[in-house]
Amino acid sequence: MKKERLGYALTGSFCTFRRSIEQMKTLRSMGYEIYPVMSENAYTTDTRFGKAKDITDEIEKIAGKSIIHTIVTAEPIGPKGLCDMMVVAPCTGNTLSKIALGVTDTPVTMAVKSQLRVNKPVVLCIATNDALSASAQNIGRLMNTKHIYLVPLKQDNPSDKPHSLVADFEKLPESIAAAFRGEQLQPVLG
């Protein structure tokens, strides 16, 4: 049986990269084919969480493919039927807001737009410090957008970061399976 092809995009929530990469490994071990996509910042920025080159090398080794990291190379994903689903893990508040408002100025937002234009599912694994403030309206908009599914999320540190929400990365495989069935996992907010 053919396993689905996942576009797997990472944006700049660098502190969640390790969790995301672990899920990428899990998905590959489950038989999914992975097409990695990264925003320019995620692709090029060294942080206290790791050097960009080390991270990109690891992702390419897991996927067995080069990372799509330009708008031009992300655009054909949908029209050429490259992926059955696009996953954005982590999806920052900046990226989710751009998706909600139709802004296409990064490889990741182009990859999502490209998938949506051919009516294929997109799963967002949100990690943002402003989810319960500035990004809240855009999360609400995306929850009501056809073909967009959210990995269940919760507050990660309510006392020190009262507006922050982070998806449960371990629920990513289950969220992908549900999205392929056209279902949103519940509860969205735990």
Tokens 């031009």, located at residue: 72
Measured in residues, the chain has a length of 190
What is the token pair recorded at 95?
């990226």
103-124, pLDDT tens digit by residue? Answer: 999 999 999 999 999 999 999 9
pTM above 0.75, yes or no: yes
Assess whether pLDDT exceeds 90 at residue 189. Answer: no
**Burial class of residue 150 in the structure, from the number of CB atoms within 10 Å of its CB (0-12 exposed, 13-18 middle, 19+ buried):** buried
Confidence at residue 2, expressed as pLDDT on a 0 to 100 scale: 61
The answer to whether the beta carbons of residues 128 and 155 sit under 8 Å apart is no
Confidence at residue 58, expressed as pLDDT on a 0 to 100 scale: 98
Set out the domains of the chain in order of their start, with CATH numbers: 5-180 (3.40.50.1950)
Confidence at residue 30, expressed as pLDDT on a 0 to 100 scale: 95
Q: Mean pLDDT, to the nearest integer, of 79-103?
A: 97
The answer to whether the beta carbons of residues 174 and 185 sit under 8 Å apart is yes
141-160, pLDDT tens digit by residue? Answer: 999 999 999 999 999 889 99
What is the token pair recorded at 60?
């390419």
1-58, pLDDT tens digit by residue? Answer: 468 999 999 999 999 999 999 999 999 999 999 999 999 999 999 999 999 999 999 9
